[in-house]
Amino acid sequence: MSYASGRTFYDADSHLMELPDFLRSHADPALRDRLPRIHVDAPRLQAGLADAAQRGAQPPEYAEELIALGAGLIAGPKGYQALGAFNSAERSRALDLLGFARQLVFSTFSAGHAFTRAHELPERYAIARAHNRAMAEFCAGDQRLFGVALLPLDDVERTAAELSQIQREGLRAVWVPHRPCGGRSPGHDELDPIWAQLAEAGIPFLLHVGGRPLQIDPAWMNTGRAVPTDWLGGGENVRGKDMIALHHDAETFIGSLVLDGVLQRHPKLRGGVIELGAGWVPSLLARLDWVAEIWRKSEPDLRALRDKPSEQILDRIWFTPYPYEDLGALIRQSDSRLYLFSSDYPHVEGGRNPLGRFSASLTGASEQAQSNFYADNFARLFSGQI
């Protein structure tokens, strides 16, 4: 028996762990030497990386040990030591054991290169192009794997060209940075053709942790005492105080998208907010509704909104709660049509038994609410693709 059984489960967040040459080996030849190698600083993620880079697969005997875990695979080794972390054939075997009927696949490290303003624009888009080729290749052999492309938004012409390439590659969704790219709101007129292209193609846009810098201003960490390392043992991942603000830019991005009228102008556009938690979602809905009501007196864009912001989000934006959040309480405060199940496999942040934790928080929830969370909302997000 697989880990997930008894109903249909769609997984809205998983990852591949890129090997060092992931980008360069899929880059345009003229730009190959300008693209970065994937470098892993965190000590807890380095386990298994050297052997993975050499073999491109888990050692056969070790792979058999992982397969023998059966339904316990989810609680087994994580990162590069997990089954299917970087090898597509192994990922298919892992999915057999996990039991998820569909699984979104994000990269782990590449977005930090494609979305950072530390790289010049040509390099950002070259990184995205190489990543998207590699992701399409990883997911091509298994229809259960829904590959997520990287799509910078800084240069509209380049973005449109990359989006057309993404469509040709057959990738299922695009990950966009949740910041004002190119000095523009996501509701800027110049970006409307991009949202229109996504809507017409039925390709959802996704925000994901890592779509902007993870850490807060260093001044907030200045206590006169030693600054803590992150939980992976390095210095660039999330720390306790970073969690206070981790979702803030995503909340601003979604709020701006709605208040600028993007969802109203593009009724087929759908999106998701992944691995940024959901405890903030009920207050977002209430806040946007009263903002739209009060400021409509002075702002033409808000007067033009036909439906409440909360209704627009309820119809077309979805969120993944963390496994330690009280999903049942979130549903009671808002609506079960807002939330998606996710495992975060093979990242350790997803926990050793996410279904167990979500199931416990859903005690007493209706069958429809549970079906919405585990499968139906994912199917709505990917309407026409399932």
**Helix residue spans in the chain (DSSP H):** 49-55, 60-68, 88-98, 110-114, 121-139, 156-169, 192-201, 242-245, 248-259, 262-265, 281-295, 300-303, 309-316, 327-333, 354-361, 367-371, 377-381
pLDDT digits (tens, 9 = 90+) for 345-367: 999 999 999 999 999 999 999 99
- The answer to whether residues 86 and 105 touch, using CB atoms and an 8 Å cutoff, is no
- The answer to whether residues 79 and 109 touch, using CB atoms and an 8 Å cutoff, is no
Is the entire prediction scored with pTM above 0.85? Answer: yes
pLDDT given at position 41: 80
Give dist(CA 368, CA 7) in Å, integer: 12
**Closest residue by Cα to residue 347 from 145, 107, 154:** 107
Number of residues assigned to the chain: 386
Residue 93 three-state SS: helix
pLDDT given at position 235: 66
The parts of the chain modelled with pLDDT lower than 50 are: none
Give dist(CA 118, CA 316) in Å, integer: 33
- Does an H or E element contain 1, and which? none
pLDDT given at position 212: 93
Q: For the residues of 282-337, what is the DSSP string, one character each?
A: HHHHHHHHHHHHHHTTT-HHHHT--S-HHHHHHHHEEEPPPTTS-HHHHHHHS-GG
**What CATH architecture does domain 10-381 belong to?**
Alpha-Beta Barrel (3.20)
Question: What residue type is 119 in one-letter code?
Answer: H
pLDDT given at position 317: 98
